[in-house]
A and B are shown apart, each in its own frame.
Chain A
Amino acid sequence: MEFVMPAFACIIVVFGLIKRVPVFDIFLKGAKEGMQILYNIAPTIIGLVFAVDLLRSSGAIDAICNFIEPVADYLGFPKEIVPMVLLRPVSGSGSTALLTSLYEQCGPDSFAGRVASVLAGSSETTFYAIAMYFGCIKVKKIRHTLFAAIIADITAAVMSVLTVRLYFGIS
């Protein structure tokens, strides 16, 4: 599936050529606007990477997991993926690291491996996206965005267990 991205870019450029627009000149204009966007989101990125790095190195995630795991176990939620549920909203690379270590331990086709895969496929780095999208336009009052996004994360976590159970049979 590696051809999707080049194909997408290629279609746009070819379409531009057909419509006889000066593609390269326009590309440069757009790229310059990209620099402006980057300039606006750079402080947000620095702030977030800082907070997430602190969180990961402090052992806070493990400490919280120790409290949640018994509850998760009781509810039939595989406890191996609790750290991933917690880290997923704040760090894409961090949750991918957890996903690969889980694949190594349990295997990608195990129950926990499948649930973790579905979770990774159906959720996003929520806080990161919110901070970046609102940070680039300096909007501070985000109203109920965070609440709705957390609802999405919780739904994804619950549904990943349910769908794997239903689709692959109860294990």
Chain B
Amino acid sequence: MLNYVWSGLVIISIICSVFLGNTEDLSKALVDSGASSIELIITMAGIICLWTGIMKIAVESGLTSVFAKIFSPLLRPLFPNLDKNSDAYKSISMNISANLLGLGNAATPFGLKAMEQLHTLNNKCDTASNEMIIFVVMNTASLQLLPTTLASLRQSYGSSAPFEIIVPVWISSACALAAALICACTLNCVKRKER
């Protein structure tokens, strides 16, 4: 699937640039993208290592179990086949709490860890499990309670009430999340019957 999306992006860009006469910009981007991706990786390296380190402390001290208990009512129906005491369950709880607090940078490492643990539970097979799909879909819909970055951006551009969009943001992201979860759960059930 991602093969098609990726090659689609590349091919569309190249065809468009030829027709629109942007080939010069395109070849510049082609060269620059290498440098900018390495820059991004280096920035992410620090963030990921820092938060996986912090996460490890939370796991060893038993704090993740506390978070897992808090989110249990929410996670139980979404991951019915996942063991409540598994590492993946705890990582997912940490990922959700970081997301809710608006700590996107911290949430990603927790999420990556959770995916690794789900992968182990899935016998390292190359097909995504139902749990993986639900978890990734949850992460592609934004879960923030306080969109702080957004509000500060609005403020810096002279908004009279930077936080006034918060209620529409909640409603809109709740709808997006619900739509995605309903879609993913339904398809999970349908495909399971097919097997």
Contacts and interface: CB of A to CB of B under 8 A. Distances in A.
Contacts of A1: 102, 146, 148, 151
Interface in B38-81: 38, 40-41, 44-45, 48-58, 60-63
Given A45-B40, A142-B133, A155 B179 contact: yes
Chain A interface SS verdict (over half): helix
Contact of B128 (A4, A30, A107, A139): A139
A160 B168 contact: yes
Interface string B144-179: 101110110110011111101101110111011101
Interface of A: 1-2, 4-5, 8-9, 12-13, 15-16, 18-19, 21, 23, 26-35, 37-38, 41-42, 45-60, 63, 90, 96, 99-100, 103-104, 107-109, 113-114, 117-124, 126-127, 129-134, 136-149, 151-153, 155-156, 159-160, 162-164, 167
Interface of B: 1-2, 5-6, 9-10, 12-14, 16-17, 19-20, 22, 25-26, 28-30, 32-34, 36-38, 40-41, 44-45, 48-58, 60-63, 98, 101-103, 105-106, 108-109, 111-113, 115-116, 118-119, 126-128, 132-133, 135-137, 139-142, 144, 146-148, 150-151, 153-154, 157-162, 164-165, 167-169, 171-173, 175-177, 179-181, 183-184, 187, 191
